[in-house]
């Protein structure tokens, strides 16, 4: 999402730089019982540090995060939801070692990450910094899910793996596309050509502030600088998915419920 400017400008928008926010989620097509029309049912996996807005890291339904009558950003904050569908990522793989999809694995990784954020890896507090923030750690969950499903499929006995690839040509082609997608994402998002060490080792490093180790925190964040800024991460990831023939549906929610001349939208910064 972006910022709120205008006569009712929010405090975070008083500086010329607004970073915005990034979150993954899932969307299902359901039938709206009141109108009998199809609509998207959206859940967000909010990797959220402790904050003054009362938002808690975890799985939040659209109605609770965006459209609740008491809380929520609908009607005040500019939000862009991008719904992505790519069979290689969303469809299930069924082998001797795993029955799952990268999407389901990522949802599990995000649930674990949001649980870690709620307790600060046992320290009681989670703070924003270059190395750990909504965008960086959401994308850690993405990379972990892609790595895990590739490792699970390729740890099958080579003979059985070749038999599976030959027996299921459709799934085999989807899997090859998934491997190419993972390589492309790593190439785009990792500055030094490899995953961050803390991502590879799944280190529990939440609960420290930028002041605790400023240089290390900055260097680690630079190691994945394209996921440091929420909008940059979103633009880069979407570009890669589209290169691999994903379908995308963009939902822009600036003001719901009528025009409010006292607020204006601020686009989050990017490079």
Question: Does residue 121 lie within any of the structural domains?
Answer: yes
The pLDDT of residue 202 = 73
Residue range 159-175: average pLDDT? 85
pLDDT in tens, 9-31: 988 888 888 899 999 999 999 99
**Gap between the Cα atoms of 233 and 236, Å rounded:** 5
Is 79 within 8 Å of 1 (Cβ atoms)? Answer: yes
Question: Does residue 271 lie within any of the structural domains?
Answer: no
Question: Does residue 12 lie within any of the structural domains?
Answer: yes
Q: Domain residues for 233?
A: 3-266
Per-residue buried b or exposed e for 196-215, using 16+ beta carbons within 10 Å of the residue's own CB: bebbeeeeebbbbebeeeee
Domain count for the chain, please give it.
1
The pLDDT of residue 93 = 87
Instruction: Give the bridge partners for 4, in sequence order.
Output: 265
Question: Does residue 115 lie within any of the structural domains?
Answer: yes
| pTM listed for this prediction | 0.88
Question: Does residue 225 lie within any of the structural domains?
Answer: yes
Question: Does residue 42 lie within any of the structural domains?
Answer: yes
The pLDDT of residue 33 = 92
Q: Say which residue the tokens 């600036």 belong to.
A: 254
**Gap between the Cα atoms of 265 and 193, Å rounded:** 36
Higher-confidence residue of 151 and 181: namely 181
Question: Does residue 167 lie within any of the structural domains?
Answer: yes
The pLDDT of residue 210 = 64
The pLDDT of residue 159 = 75
**Gap between the Cα atoms of 242 and 246, Å rounded:** 5
């Amino acid at each position: 999402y972006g910022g709120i400017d205008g006569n009712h400008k929010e405090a975070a928008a008083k500086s010329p730089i607004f970073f915005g926010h990034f979150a993954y989620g899932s969307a299902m097509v359901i039938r709206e019982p009141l109108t009998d029309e199809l609509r998207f049912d959206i859940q967000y996996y909010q990797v959220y540090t402790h904050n003054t807005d009362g938002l808690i890291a975890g799985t939040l339904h659209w109605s609770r995060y965006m459209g609740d009558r008491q809380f929520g950003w609908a009607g005040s904050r500019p939000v862009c939801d991008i719904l992505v569908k790519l069979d290689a990522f969303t469809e299930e793989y069924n082998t001797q070692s795993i029955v799952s999809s990268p999407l389901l694995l990522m949802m599990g990784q995000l649930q674990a990450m949001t649980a870690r954020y709620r307790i600060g890896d046992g320290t009681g507090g989670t703070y924003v910094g270059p190395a750990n923030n909504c965008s960086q750690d959401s994308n850690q969950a993405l990379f972990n899910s892609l790595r895990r499903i590739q490792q699970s499929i390729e740890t099958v006995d080579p003979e059985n793996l070749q038999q599976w690839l030959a027996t299921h040509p459709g799934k085999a082609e989807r899997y090859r596309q998934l491997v190419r997608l993972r390589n492309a994402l790593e190439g785009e998002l990792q500055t030094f050509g490899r995953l961050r060490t803390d991502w590879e080792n799944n280190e529990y490093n939440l609960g420290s502030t930028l002041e605790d180790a400023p240089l290390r925190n900055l260097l680690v964040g630079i190691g994945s600088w394209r996921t440091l800024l929420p909008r940059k991460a979103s633009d880069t990831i979407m570009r890669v998915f589209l290169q691999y023939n994903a379908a995308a549906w963009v939902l822009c929610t600036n003001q719901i419920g009528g025009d409010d001349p006292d607020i204006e939208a601020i686009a989050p910064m990017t490079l």
